[in-house]
């Protein structure tokens, strides 16, 4: 099977590539390296079934392929806001190019959408049928509305060209290979605690997220690609719901430091709570996360300590 992974040098993309390579698949990694890191995939460089192409998906590409895993897009709010116009173009033109490539090759294409498409929904547990409460023109819209448009493009290609689409909505993934300056909460807190700096708390710190370890997400993506269901389907860990202050305290305890907190203003369009329903993923994919926050944090902390040496 020839696989293309767009954004394959990034955090989730590189873990997906590890899984595909270990399964004996052929993998072409496309990445413009705007947030991805060549070292995440360096172990496969000399492998005969692996190829890296530095390519920006907002430009069309023509390669023979059977499965496309479309992950390319800066995923942390710090990174996607930095060049917001480019983020919108990656989600729109980039996804269009990927869908054209899939259609031409009669390939399957899995698009990684996001829990951000639900916006600030008052719902306690987000079902895939929830249409979302998203600001269409705020600082985060390039990502949340960008991903919504990309989902819409996927389904229009399905309806118009019978393109074999799969859409996953991913909720707050963490684990090894999130970059130091990426800005996501768990990696921020671990690096801050190890460096004996204050842990930066945005707003009250009462915002809640459900945290899913990266090794749990990969089998969800694989199962979705291999099933007959287009999606959208939520992938996340509803059992591991924490507010930001409690995650900060847990990380301090695990690293055994007494760093202070530094209160920062609440970011615009902050989401106050976000919990996935994974009923559909359980029923259709027979998937649910297995790694609890203690184990996930320990693995992530060990990786970061080694990286930081
Ligand atoms: N957050 C925080 N301090 C940080 C980074 C993030 O308090 O140093 C908060 C952020 O405002 C949000 C939550 O942690 O409420 C999760 O942030 P992240 O960027 O990891 O994910 P997202 O907001 O996209 O769910």
SS3 67: strand
Between β-strands 212-213 and 108-114, what pairing exists: parallel, antiparallel or unpaired?
Answer: unpaired
Compute the distance from residue 72 Cα to the ligand 1 centre, in Å: 21
In 3D, which of 220, 180, 172, 176 has the Cα closest to residue 14? 176
Q: Could you tell me the two tokens for 91?
A: 């989600």
Q: What's the order of all strands across the beta sheet hosting 67-70?
A: 50-54, 26-31, 2-6, 67-70, 108-114, 164-170, 233-235
Catalytic residue among 118, 143, 213, 242: 143
Q: Rounded to whole angstroms, how far apart are CA atoms 153 and 263? A: 40
213 is catalytic: no
DSSP for 248-284, please give it.
Answer: HHHHHHHHT--PPEEEEPPPTT---EE-B--HHIIII
Probe residue for ligand 1, chosen from 74, 195, 209 as the CB with the greatest number of ligand atoms within 8 Å: 209
What is this structure's pTM? Answer: 0.97
- Let me know: does 221 contact 167? Beta carbons within 8 Å: no
Q: Which residues line ligand 1 (CB under 6 A)?
A: 76-77, 172, 183-185, 188, 200-202, 207, 209, 244, 267, 270-271
Q: Which atom of ligand 1 is found nearest the CA of 266?
A: 11
Distances (CA, A) of 70 to 65, 110, 197, 242, 244: 13, 6, 36, 29, 30
Q: Rounded to whole angstroms, how far apart are CA atoms 144 and 124? A: 19
Q: Rounded to whole angstroms, how far apart are CA atoms 286 and 148? A: 26
Q: Which atom of ligand 1 is found nearest the CA of 199?
A: 8
In 3D, which of 122, 134, 133, 62 has the Cα closest to residue 98? 62
Averaged in consecutive runs of 10 residues, what is the pLDDT profile of the chain (309 residues)? Answer: 96 98 98 96 97 98 97 94 96 98 98 97 95 96 98 98 98 95 95 96 97 98 98 98 98 96 96 97 98 98 86
Between β-strands 108-114 and 67-70, what pairing exists: parallel, antiparallel or unpaired?
Answer: parallel
**Which H or E run contains 141?**
helix 141-161
Q: Which atom of ligand 1 is found nearest the CA of 201?
A: 7
Which pLDDT belongs to residue 308?
66
């Amino acid at each position: 099977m020839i696989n293309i992974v767009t954004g394959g040098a990034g955090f989730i993309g590189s873990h997906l590539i590890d899984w595909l390579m270990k399964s004996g698949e052929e993998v072409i990694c496309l990445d413009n390296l705007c947030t991805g890191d060549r070292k995440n995939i360096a172990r496969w460089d000399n492998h005969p079934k692996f190829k890296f192409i530095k390519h920006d998906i907002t430009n069309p590409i023509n390669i023979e392929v059977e499965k496309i895993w479309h992950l390319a897009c800066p995923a942390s709010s710090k990174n996607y806001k930095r060049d917001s116009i480019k983020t919108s173009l990656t989600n729109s033109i980039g996804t269009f190019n990927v869908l054209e490539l899939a259609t031409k090759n009669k390939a399957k294409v899995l698009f990684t959408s996001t829990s951000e498409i639900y916006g600030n929904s008052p719902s306690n547990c987000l079902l895939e049928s929830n249409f979302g409460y998203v600001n269409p023109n705020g600082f985060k819209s390039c990502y949340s509305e960008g991903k919504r448009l990309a989902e819409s493009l996927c389904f229009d290609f399905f309806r118009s060209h019978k393109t074999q689409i799969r859409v996953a909505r991913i909720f707050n993934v963490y684990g090894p290979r999130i970059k130091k300056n990426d800005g996501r909460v768990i990696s921020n807190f671990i690096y801050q605690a190890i460096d004996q700096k204050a842990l930066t708390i945005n707003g009250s710190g009462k915002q809640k997220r459900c945290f899913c370890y990266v090794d749990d997400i990969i089998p969800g993506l694989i199962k979705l690609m291999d099933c007959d269901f287009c999606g959208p389907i939520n992938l996340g860990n509803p059992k591991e719901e924490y507010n930001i202050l409690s995650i900060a305290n847990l990380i301090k305890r695990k690293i055994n430091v007494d760093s202070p907190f530094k209160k920062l203003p609440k970011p615009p369009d902050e989401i106050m709570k976000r919990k996935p329903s994974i009923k559909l993923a359980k029923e259709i994919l027979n998937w649910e996360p297995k790694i609890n926050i203690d184990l996930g944090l320990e693995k992530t902390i060990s990786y970061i300590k080694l990286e930081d040496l």
